[in-house]
Amino acid sequence: MEHKKKITDLKKSIEKFNDFSTKEKTSLVDSIEMLWLNAGIQKKKKDIKIDGNNSSDHIKRIRQLLSAAWSEDLKD
């Protein structure tokens, strides 16, 4: 009976590790996508010309749109 319990515990441990690995993989993919997006933004950042008076409003709006997009992606 003890042998079956050890096998069951081992099986549960493997399943738990597999679930954790899947979540970690998803997290890493999300991080890579964020880094890729950030690199693209940084590359194009010097090409963007924003007028002095409304620049903070434009930046705030861009951040809001990016946050909303990432929030929608995380819901899936």
Q: What would the DSSP string read from start to end of 3-14?
A: HHHHHHHHHHHH
pLDDT per position as a tens digit, 5-48: 889 999 999 999 888 888 888 888 888 888 877 777 666 655 55
For residues 70 and 19, what is the distance between their CA atoms, to the nearest angstrom?
Answer: 23
Which pTM was predicted?
0.42
DSSP of 7-63: HHHHHHHHHHHHHHHHHHHHHHHHHHHHHHHHHHHHHHHTT----TTTHHHHHHHHH
Task: List Cβ<8 Å contacts ≥24 apart for 54-62.
Answer: none
